[in-house]
A and B are shown apart, each in its own frame.
Chain A
């Protein structure tokens, strides 16, 4: 159990275009989902926390108008990178916390590798 999927697994887009990444909890309800960005050989940097039905909470330094997050249901959150630039190229990973979970265990999706040309 506790499987999180992401789609697409990789995407190449041109500078100035927008890209949407989906994160789904397949076999559990996730009241909270997290979006991370990871550059090669670096740590996971939390971008934002999204709770179902409410606005996402962004970390300091993350542009909310550039990285649009929507958490419309208990199993789906989306991250849209708007007007992407080459510096946005990174590995984007979502994670989800189970609604009924009694620990703070997070289940991570497989990640989406974004390359902006």
Chain B
């Protein structure tokens, strides 16, 4: 089966940098994705890593270490609108298994 762990809550201030970690134990692995979900809304795709290393997309970056079964999402220059839930998801056998999500609260 698949098992993913990420912190349940993170709090940071505007302008800061925050890192949300995700560790996984899976029977198979193709890649790791990150999604953002605002309250009452649908998840939106943020990033995808299939290979080790850092992927950067604007203020968001995602890192993967396959040997450590570990990844993280890095959010820079935090803005109030970044307050949301963030999910890591392992992709295997054509489908995604989601972690329980990390609620990020950005304070002024």
Contact = CB atoms under 8 A, between A and B. Distances in A.
Interface stretch (B11-19, B56-64, B92-100): B92-100
A48 B105 CA distance: 32
A109 B31 CA distance: 22
Q: Which of A42, A43, A103, A108 has the most CB of B within 10 A?
A: A43
Interface residues of B, number: 20
A34 B91 CA distance: 13
A95 B89 CA distance: 14
Interface in B57-108: 87, 91, 94-101
Contacts of A49: 94-95
Interface of B: 30-31, 33, 35, 41-45, 48, 87, 91, 94-101
Interface of A: 32, 34, 42-46, 49, 93, 95, 103-111
